[in-house]
Structure 1
């Protein structure tokens, strides 16, 4: 019988990111198995620590006497072997700690939820039905699921009606049918989507195809108890004699869900910034999916109406197969860049061509108008000199919540009723940007007798009826699905969206516009206002992958990601310099900086931090991550230990390393 447990201690200290050997007391011999939660003495801190048993064995490399485990917290094996292998690899790849990854993968324990899960019996059998996947060449997606293929899938535009009358995007039907095929073959499927809107569509399709117990939903909006219950539903129950395949749906962290026999892992719209993990070790869900598919096998699918430059790189390397609809389905897109100055009867920013399109379409069904920003007026400026109106308290931008509201700061919320321009002392202002509320007000006057609905972050909608004379004003990403599709789609504020300073601004705008255009009814027009050039051409021809290919070519010439990998090193100047010195013997391309960290928002303080950007080839990623990880550990252990009882006074580490950091681009 095994007598040694190798335990990962739950601690934020980077120097303790390794397995510790503990003796298994005879009383715990049957309970201390891989995957269970335990408590164990931690001599470094002089206390009991929580941990997870990763392995058990008969021997230890430690020559001294092993400390015994204190307790086995629960018999539930919450750490699956495949999740541990994934967490260790992601942590090493991102210069992070396995504990940080597992905090994303395993929710906090709920005793009541866990007790109910242990008391219930094993779930029923998974369905064996297989559904043909329409809209593509016969057998292409099916064979990829069966034979562990890797696809870059161009999703079908349009909406589809389910048997219960619910309308969903056609992309959801495709991914759900692929997942059902994996389950019918005895293997689990993981489907990752950006947010709850997409998740609801997938779940609606799946509930019409498979029994309820087969689908597990890992939804970040739920309480911890609900999330823990959904997590346990992904695990094999102790009463199960064999693995029961499941379809696991969720947002970015679902890529860490336990699935012993993985048949499919699919991401929809991987270019959405919601897939970028804001917590250490900052691994993008796309990269986690790639690593997991390499470790476990199974099919890998990146689907979307647009294609990220990162996925396009993998297509051009031959790692992913490009698959599009057959026959080709293209929405009708009309760019109006040349007519931008010709405004409609409302006298606003809607050109006459778009105005006529909306007027005619409203007689047949609902019309969608996409705008850049929520609220009423998100930016004000001095009427006399044009200087941006700023808060006198924190220098944040002033905004209006309604037509009769007093200007307020977008950062600190302070009212600015006595505002005056800092340049010319003028006390009157003008509107620079109109939000969804102001746009709805203007369009309501321009289209009398029309019902105007607003969908944004404050008033989110997922579904609207297909009734005529309904105008839906939605911010980017908040567009609801209309029954039968929209009779027309008007894309406003294109020029303003493109003014954002980011390497990905063109990719993001094309994705926002394409996702909105995909909600149109067959044959309905989509009018893109005020944008021309390659972006308008890619949208009009529905050749988003061609735009991604052109972007990739430019980034290779400039040495920008994803042609190269980058790492940002942020901290005090001495810490950053020490980290850069650790890279002296590592083959990197170059180092940009260090430079002062730019201020961003009201909470950004000038604390003297600097940031350096390291560029390197993919082949040397592990070496760079290992060297930077060593610098983090040296900084964490370099200070002198304070006296007992005064550990809170120990200075916190200031060095932060982010590989593939999207913020610097």
Structure 2
């Protein structure tokens, strides 16, 4: 096996009485192990799929998130596909020389791109302006790095964003220079593209969160778009966030870094506050020229619906010159029902579950048991009228169709997501994240039911609401109009009206620092049954200054509880180390498992 057991190769080893998969990390003539060494069982493949920098990164992330390196490697290296492994990877042609043209109105962008062209390692947090062609701008930053002889890695939230950046790179670089690492093409295509990167045939990668581990040769730039999107949070242990993966790679491999987005997270703002990165943003004059945003109160009886007169006028004026986007937070028709007389929530007579309506001519149906309430009556006042306090995109499209007869109304949500729309004066009703891109931008954007978006019981409710609104508003054409229906005095709506994601992020950082919350502190949540949590608190060697909150019941059942551990950011590494040691001790003693999440996205 001497010729095939090369560093990075997959091997089978005997461990704890079982044959398990492993990787050769390094070969050496001597060992510091005092026990008996076991031979390799066999080499699965001589293909070196685990690059040295990824092996080092897996250890860094395992320590950061108090997990096992094997769990990180499971995320980093895709499953083997033998047929794809046998095919050779065709080298990419020489990179073209591209002059950036889309960054002209972004302050400090010129020196950032100049340093990229010189092969240096600038780091920036970029706030995209309304009507910016951000896929093109990312492609130009990548092309500048690529022309300097270094590779680039771009991570975006979902496949629709991958498609947009892919199209921009094809237009800028041409065929054969980059690959897209997503699960959409199937395991064979994904492994083939992974091997082309691992072998050095491709040095530009675009993908979703798993692409953050791509072994790009001579990596010079890592790019993350919209780091506030919850799709960047890995749902599998040890639950790393794409932002932290890319920042760790930037530190470890001395690369340039670009965190971009229309909104700005407190974590990105913290990078600016500490001096780790510099700010890239358009001037206030450019923003004011690109968009006009306003917030109007939700109650206005002049029109007779939940759309106030100012919002109605914005749609009407927008339809004179192009399409109009209407964002609503809920899909479906009527997501909840209540008595039209006394406002008591409508419940199923069979199981007391909530009633919903899926269409204008469909009777109410229970969301839990599916029972159809053909003759529903209110349990409180015996009234038979129903109202919909929360309306989905289908009901919203129906209302707008009656308000603007003769206008085409299109819906985009769930499994019927529109990718793009043309320049015709249509109304497009979309749920959050399903907003299609207009060919020439939207003439107006209307954001409905902002109170519902803000009503989430979560630490990041306001931050996430503003991110959703800004992403929708940024789809306007230059000079477009954005109207949000809600309380104009709310800080998040005020930030939207001013189009000030940076000021909102600074305020969030200050408030969280006073409350000892991330990013000013490191937080860990330990979830398990009560007995297991008692063992955890007994075995855990907590660093000085750690706050222990709980245990408290968690979830629907009574058996599961959770403990929240919080420590100032200076002690974050010690807390992660203590939790990692705890997991190893519990695993060795075969104690009941607990779930540990370090800096979870939602609290």
After TM superposition, the score normalised by the length of structure 1 is 0.85
Which position in structure 2 is the counterpart of 1:486? 442
Would you say 1:67 and 2:38 are equivalent positions? yes
Offset of 1:457 from its aligned partner? 1.5
* Matching of residues 142-291 of structure 1 within 5 Å: 142-145=113-116, 146-158=119-131, 170-236=133-199, 243=200, 246-291=203-248
Which position in structure 1 is the counterpart of 2:488? 532
Aligned partners of 2:160 and 2:419 also within 8 Å: yes
Cα distance in 1 for partners of 2:370, 2:188 equals 34
Q: What CA deviation, in whole Å up to 9, does each residue of 1:395-454 have, x standing for no partner?
A: 653322111223334456555556665656666532121100000011001101000100
Q: What CA deviation, in whole Å up to 9, does each residue of 1:347-402 have, x standing for no partner?
A: 21111111112112212111111111111111112344433334567765332211
Aligned partners of 1:374 and 1:435 also within 8 Å: yes
Cα distance in 2 for partners of 1:356, 1:178 equals 40
* 1:419–1:39 Cα change, 3 Å: farther
Which position in structure 1 is the counterpart of 2:104? 134
Offset of 1:147 from its aligned partner? 1.9
* 1:416–1:471 Cα change, 3 Å: same
Aligned partners of 1:144 and 1:150 also within 8 Å: no
From 433, 438, 460, the counterpart of 2:395: 438
Cα distance in 1 for partners of 2:253, 2:25 equals 18
Aligned partners of 2:295 and 2:493 also within 8 Å: no
Would you say 1:329 and 2:287 are equivalent positions? yes
Aligned partners of 1:130 and 1:184 also within 8 Å: no
Cα distance in 2 for partners of 1:107, 1:412 equals 40
SS of aligned partner of 1:55: coil
Offset of 1:628 from its aligned partner? 1.6
* 1:409–1:213 Cα change, 3 Å: farther
Aligned partners of 2:181 and 2:206 also within 8 Å: yes
SS of aligned partner of 1:73: strand
Q: What RMSD, in angstroms, separates the aligned Cα atoms of the two structures?
A: 2.2
SS of aligned partner of 1:487: strand
SS of aligned partner of 1:153: strand
Cα distance in 1 for partners of 2:217, 2:25 equals 15
Q: What CA deviation, in whole Å up to 9, does each residue of 1:76-105 have, x standing for no partner?
A: 111111111111110111010111111111
Which position in structure 1 is the counterpart of 2:48? 77
Which position in structure 1 is the counterpart of 2:323? 366
Which position in structure 2 is the counterpart of 1:92? 63
List runs of 5+ in structure 1 lacking aligned partners: 1-27, 160-169, 237-242, 600-605, 640-651
* 1:404–1:315 Cα change, 3 Å: same
* 1:423–1:83 Cα change, 3 Å: farther
Indicate the larger mover: 441-450 or 190-199: 190-199
Offset of 1:597 from its aligned partner? 0.4
Cα distance in 2 for partners of 1:157, 1:72 equals 53
Which position in structure 2 is the counterpart of 1:648? none
Indicate the larger mover: 629-638 or 291-300: 629-638
Cα distance in 1 for partners of 2:356, 2:115 equals 51
Cα distance in 1 for partners of 2:23, 2:487 equals 54
Aligned partners of 2:519 and 2:569 also within 8 Å: no
Aligned partners of 1:306 and 1:510 also within 8 Å: yes
Aligned partners of 2:198 and 2:216 also within 8 Å: yes
Indicate the larger mover: 63-72 or 121-130: 121-130
Offset of 1:303 from its aligned partner? 0.7
Aligned partners of 1:191 and 1:250 also within 8 Å: yes
From 573, 577, 580, the counterpart of 1:626: 577
* Matching of residues 260-659 of structure 1 within 5 Å: 260-325=217-282, 328-330=286-288, 331-338=290-297, 340-343=298-301, 345=303, 347-391=304-348, 396-410=353-367, 415-417=372-374, 428-468=385-425, 470-533=426-489, 534-599=491-556, 606=557, 608-639=559-590, 653-659=592-598
Aligned partners of 1:95 and 1:657 also within 8 Å: yes
Indicate the larger mover: 130-139 or 606-615: 130-139
SS of aligned partner of 1:443: helix
Offset of 1:495 from its aligned partner? 1.7
Cα distance in 1 for partners of 2:30, 2:369 equals 59
Would you say 1:29 and 2:2 are equivalent positions? yes
Cα distance in 2 for partners of 1:634, 1:414 equals 50
* 1:55–1:128 Cα change, 3 Å: farther
Cα distance in 2 for partners of 1:393, 1:502 equals 32
List runs of 5+ in structure 2 lacking aligned partners: none
Aligned partners of 1:82 and 1:259 also within 8 Å: no
Offset of 1:64 from its aligned partner? 4.8
* 1:70–1:205 Cα change, 3 Å: same
Which position in structure 2 is the counterpart of 1:19? none
Offset of 1:256 from its aligned partner? 1.1
* 1:49–1:449 Cα change, 3 Å: same
Cα distance in 2 for partners of 1:96, 1:129 equals 42
Cα distance in 2 for partners of 1:304, 1:447 equals 34
Q: What CA deviation, in whole Å up to 9, does each residue of 1:297-339 have, x standing for no partner?
A: 111111111100111122112111111125633443342434x
